[in-house]
Structure 1
Amino acid sequence: MAEAAIDFTGIVVSRQNFREHDALVRFLTSQYGFKTFIARGLKRPKAKLAGVTLPFTLGDYVGVVRAAGLSQLRTAKGTQLFRQPMENIVTNAYATYIFDLIRAAFPEGQAIPRWYDIGKAVLLGMDRGLDPAILANIVEIQLLPAFGVAPQLRVCAICGRDDRPMDYSEGAGGLICNRHWAQEPYRFHASAKAIYYLRRFSVVNINQVQSINVNVQTKAELRTIIDRIYSDTVGTYPRSKRFIDSLGQWNQDFKPLKPRNASNGEQSK
């Protein structure tokens, strides 16, 4: 008996060749989390699915969704390709890294509707010209609990105060106020600006971010701090992170393509 095809909504996060004429297309779906589909005949000339399965395409698709093994992609009903991740090498690198990191946190087939929404919001923000490095920082911080790490980033982890200068301490499990700095010789000695952004990143809704203006020095410090948190507590990074690291100063001086809706008054830097 033939398996029934169903509708699903998803974001294409990767595509790779498979056998002579086929390809594997991985989606982050709103209903089923990450799912990998075989797209038969995708590598043939004029394949109908070729243009609607490019990475960072959002759309409504039809396919056979299986609980285990490869699902099967049939057709697409309507799609939207995000321009910035496709045409800007820095944005592409960060988009790839963000979805790789989400995938590292959750097994294939686990429904993660919140992270589907965040992934979609990230791509929409990138298409408006928002700085992908800061969008990645927000995802990294908010994803920590999924890796079993939940640093205290709202108040002092020791006394609960939130009205004094703060620093980050892995030993204390998050932020500590200056009353306790002498007790933590391995605190990060982070700047006030970096701590401010760490706290904001832990609670901000990406859908509500209208502009990003973080100077190069603070961006570099945030990258160092978050890398250290991940290295010491999570212990893993996707391979795509290595490419971002190789970009060096290029990604610190990110300049987006002209946003499609530049006339609406939003700014990014």
Structure 2
Amino acid sequence: MVRELKEVQGIIFKRQKYKEADLLAKIMTKQDGIITLIVKGALRPKSRLSAATLNFSTGTYIIYTSGHGLSNLRTYKEVKQFDGLYHDLTKNAYASFIFDLIDHAFVEYQPIGKYYNLALFALNKIDKGVDSEMITQIVQMKMLSAYGVEPELRHCVICGKEKGVFDYSIKLGGIVCSDHFGVVNSRMHLKPKETAVLRTIALLPIDRLGTISINEETKKATRKAIDRIYRETIDLNLKTKKFLDELKLF
């Protein structure tokens, strides 16, 4: 097994105690996928490596790796933190869920491509105070493709119509137009505006998403719809999602 020194750019998103003074830290990278790093001595007082591997730190990390299994963090450069996430439990909870969702869609060292940009987009927006709930919904809708259950949202799954009033059918895997409302028993009975929001956040490229302004009633309805889509199509039981849901009760 050949091990080599490699420079990776990425985002630290999970860490836990490994041995007496060591940490395991998960890093999400674009080209090399998700890697678990051993960070030796990180729990010792004044450790430089500890500060560089705080959750939601991003930068360049020099690792010793064989391309599978555990890798070792040797050093780092140009690391920065998203300070807005450290002082806000709710923001942190949303970000943790987003990264957990991406983490579970891939095996380690599998390149994640555009989903890395999606993760970075979400962190930047949440850190800056953009609506965390809507950013999370955007990520959830865009992550369905990574789980192999990308819905058809461009046109009606029955007749191909692209404009009009639409509803969503989990069973049919996408939107149905009002011409078929009477015969599609599996539709979710969403309001036209709610279906429109789901279509927009799923289809619009993240670099074209402007100011997000959606009323609480619509936001709550789309959250319930997305939760149901995930529940009925993907077998996921994430602790971060449960914690996020509990936070919303208070």
TM-score (norm 1): 0.89
**How far apart are residue 14 of structure 1 and its match?**
0.6
What are the Cα deviations for residues 174-231 of structure 1, in whole angstroms up to 9, with x where unaligned? 1101110111123111112211111111122223333221111111101110011011
**How far apart are residue 86 of structure 1 and its match?**
1.8
**Are 2:64 and 1:64 aligned?**
yes
Aligned amino acid, residue 159 of structure 1: C
C-alpha contact 2:168 2:174 (8 A) present in aligned 1: yes
Give the equivalent residue in structure 1 for 2:239.
239
C-alpha contact 1:99 1:119 (8 A) present in aligned 2: yes
**5 Å matches for 1:22-41?**
22-41=22-41
Taking the aligned partners of 2:92 and 2:226, their CA distance within structure 1 comes to: 20
Is there any run of 5+ residues in structure 2 with no aligned partner, and where? none
**5 Å matches for 1:42-61?**
42-61=42-61
How many residues are treated as equivalent by the alignment? Answer: 250
Aligned amino acid, residue 36 of structure 2: T
**How far apart are residue 68 of structure 1 and its match?**
2.0
Determine what percentage of the aligned residue pairs are the same residue.
36
Pick 1 or 2: higher relative contact order, CA cutoff 8 A, min separation 6: 1
Is there any run of 5+ residues in structure 1 with no aligned partner, and where? 251-269
Q: Secondary structure at the match of 2:7?
A: strand
What are the Cα deviations for residues 90-128 of structure 1, in whole angstroms up to 9, with x where unaligned? 111110001100111111110112111111111111122
Bigger shift: 70-79 or 206-215? 206-215
RMSD of aligned residue pairs (Cα, Å)? 1.6
Q: Secondary structure at the match of 1:59?
A: strand
Taking the aligned partners of 1:126 and 1:99, their CA distance within structure 2 comes to: 13
Q: Secondary structure at the match of 1:11?
A: strand
Give the equivalent residue in structure 1 for 2:131.
131
**5 Å matches for 1:1-40?**
3-40=3-40
Taking the aligned partners of 2:171 and 2:126, their CA distance within structure 1 comes to: 35
Q: Secondary structure at the match of 2:145?
A: helix
**How far apart are residue 7 of structure 1 and its match?**
1.2
TM-score (norm 2): 0.95
**5 Å matches for 1:147-162?**
147-162=147-162
Taking the aligned partners of 2:83 and 2:160, their CA distance within structure 1 comes to: 44
Taking the aligned partners of 1:207 and 1:65, their CA distance within structure 2 comes to: 33
